[in-house]
Amino acid sequence: MSKFLALIQNKNKKERADDVRPRSWYRFFINVKTFNILILASICFFGALYLAQINSMAIKGFEIKDLEDKQSALKENIRKVEFQVAEMQSTAKIQERINSLSMVSVAKVDYAKTSGTVAVK
């Protein structure tokens, strides 16, 4: 029986020896684990960076839309002002203002004459 127990003990020692992995395997496992953690962290970081960039672009889009609306409103305002300027410069409007201010037309214009040349210092 002792011979049988000795064989079993030797077999168990061999199995345990086979289960013991070399130190390099643990280093490899730690490196893979660290690598996986780094990959996960970089995915999270770049995902957050992507969301920030998309958010920034959406905000810029709204700002551009607002500026385009302001531009169209200003163009409409310029068109109205140009129409008013043209209306105020029309001869009918000028004649109406002359009559409202009780201005009269000049029949003969007298110009002042100077003797010789005059120089100003």
pLDDT in tens, 101-113: 888 888 888 888 7
Does residue 118 fall inside a structural domain? no
Structural domain containing residue 30 = 2-98
8: left (phi over 0), alpha (psi -120 to 50) or beta: alpha
Does residue 104 fall inside a structural domain? no
Q: Domain total for the chain?
A: 1
For the chain, what percent of residues have pLDDT higher than 90?
A: 42
Predicted structure pTM score? 0.47
Q: pLDDT-based confidence at 94, cuts 50/70/90?
A: confident
Residue 16: Cβ-neighbour burial (10 angstroms; 0-12, 13-18, 19+): exposed
What's the pLDDT score for residue 25? 58
Does residue 111 fall inside a structural domain? no
Does residue 113 fall inside a structural domain? no
Does residue 59 fall inside a structural domain? yes
Q: pLDDT-based confidence at 44, cuts 50/70/90?
A: very high
Does residue 91 fall inside a structural domain? yes
Tokens 């969301």: give the residue.
51
Helix H or strand E encompassing 113: none
What's the pLDDT score for residue 51? 98
The residues, ordered by sequence, that sit 6+ positions from 87 with a Cβ below 8 Å of its Cβ are 93
